Amino acid sequence: MARDTLETLIRLAGSDVDEARRGLQKVLAEEDKIRADIADLEASIAAESELIQRQPELSGNFGIFLVRAKHRREALDAALAEVLPRVEAARDRLAEAFANQKKYEIAKQNRDAAAAEDEKRREGIVLDEMGLNAHRRKND
């Protein structure tokens, strides 16, 4: 009965680990998307700056572009600041779920080792009794 309970707990803890892993992957994907958007924005600013240097007559709208790019960067920085604590929380949940699963696995190993030791002890008692009986019969 106890063995079945531990195996059930290990399976449940394993599903908790899988769920926490999926949650972490989802939040990491959000972080990666934001970081990619920031990189794209920086590349866009660099490309526009290079274009203005090559063709100064196009600089009329560059100021407006920079203002919009600045606002977009602030929004992306705010989104990144919002997602980073969620990444840490998801990592913490995964670590906790894994620790719980490991705790159950160790308990099962300990229980299995104790059962094996008990079985060895019982076998020893049976063999000792058989030997003692054989010795008594031999001496009688």
CB 62 within 8 A of CB 52: yes
Whether the pLDDT of residue 52 is over 90: the answer is no
Angle, helices 62-139/2-54, rounded to nearest 10 degrees: 160
Instruction: State the residue for tokens 């059930």.
Output: 8
Q: What is the pLDDT of residue 3?
A: 58
Give 76: exposed, middle or buried? Use CB within 10 Å, 0-12, 13-18, 19+: middle
Q: What is the pLDDT of residue 114?
A: 92
Q: What's the gap between Cα 72 and its chain centre?
A: 32
**Interatomic CA distance for residues 79 and 27, integer angstroms:** 12
**Interatomic CA distance for residues 56 and 99, integer angstroms:** 61
Q: What is the pLDDT of residue 28?
A: 97
